[in-house]
Amino acid sequence: MRLARWGAGVLFAVGIAAGTLAPAPPPHEPVRIGEYWLLAADFHVHGFPGDGALAPWLLRAEAARAGLDAFVLTNHNRVSTGKAARRLAEGTPGPIVIAGQEITGRGFHIAAAGLEERVDWTRGPAEAIRAVHAQGGVAIAAHPSRDFSAWDDASVALLDGHERAHPSMRRPEPGADFAAFAARAVALKPSSAPIGSSDFHSGAKPGYCRTWVLARERSAAGVLAAVRDGRTVAMDMDGRLYGKAGDVRLVSDAHVAKAVTTRPTAWARASVAAAAFGLLLLVLL
C-alpha cells in the first residue's frame, strides 16, 4: 500500500512538472497604434492557492500561450495570491501580472485590479468601489446579470468599467443582461470601460474573452490608466468587438481580433491527466 501511495504521488508530481515544463510560446510583440500600445488583457482570472486550478507560474504561462500581454489575478475576497503572482513575475519576461480581487458581495461582484490590500466584501458596492479607488485601483462590474440586485445608479456611476464580454453570454439571458448593463453604465458614466474577461477557474483558458487595451505604456500602470480613461474594447469568444466606434475601428483595422479556441494542446492534456489521476489515487489510497 505504501508503494502504491508513493507511485500515486510520483504520478501527480510528474503531471505538475510536465505542465510547468511545457514548451514556451514564441515571444509576443504587441501592436503599436499611433501613441498607444494595443495590449491584450484579461481582467478576471482565478488561481491557486484559492479558487483557481493553476499556480501563479502555470497561470502566467497559460496567459502567454493565449497571447495575453497582461492579466489580473482576482481570487474571491482575497488578494494574497495575486500579490504573490506579481512578485514571482517581477523582472522576468512574460505577461504583466496585476494583483486584484473579485469582491464577492451581497448582490454584486466586482473585479478589482491594482490592489495591495483586501477590500471588505461586506460593504455595499459604492463603499467597495471607493475602497478600490483609495488604493489606486480600478473597479469593474463582474458578470453583471439580473441576479445582482445591489447595483443602484450611484454605484454604477462610480465604476471604472463593466464586463461586456464573458463566457456566460453564450446563454441568451446573460447576454441580454450584459448589453443592458453596458448601456446603463455608459449613460451614467460615458468613460465606463467595456471589458472582456474569461473568469478563468479551471475550464476554457485565460483570454477566452479578452480586452484590447489602448495603453500609453506597457506597464501595469499603463493598463490601469487606460481603463480609467475608457480606452478599451471588449472581445467575446467569437471575436466580436464591443466599445466606442472609434476604438472598435482601431482594433479592427489592426487585424488582431479573432475567435479564441479553447482546445488544449496534447502536452497540456497529458500533464493534466497525469496530475488528476495521481491525485485521485492519493485520495483513494
Q: Is the dihedral of CA 189, 68, 16, 87 positive or negative?
A: negative
Q: How high is the pLDDT of residue 269? A: 54
User: Does the pLDDT at position 75 exceed 60?
Assistant: yes
219: three-class secondary structure by DSSP: coil
Read off the C-alpha cell for 20. Answer: 510547468
Average pLDDT taken over every residue of the chain: 88
Residue percentage of the chain with pLDDT more than 90 = 74
Q: Report how far residue 227's alpha carbon sits from residue 140's, in angstroms, rounded to the nearest whole number.
A: 9
Indicate the class that CATH gives domain 26-263: alpha beta
- Comparing 224 with 25, the larger pLDDT belongs to 224
Reported confidence tier of residue 258, pLDDT bands at 50, 70, 90: confident
Read off the C-alpha cell for 158. Answer: 462610480
User: Does the pLDDT at position 268 exceed 70?
Assistant: no
Q: What is the pLDDT of residues 135-183, one digit of tens each?
A: 999 999 999 999 899 999 999 999 999 999 999 998 888 889 999 999 9
Domain range list for the chain: 1-22+265-285, 26-263
Q: Could you tell me the pTM of the whole model?
A: 0.85
Reported confidence tier of residue 203, pLDDT bands at 50, 70, 90: confident
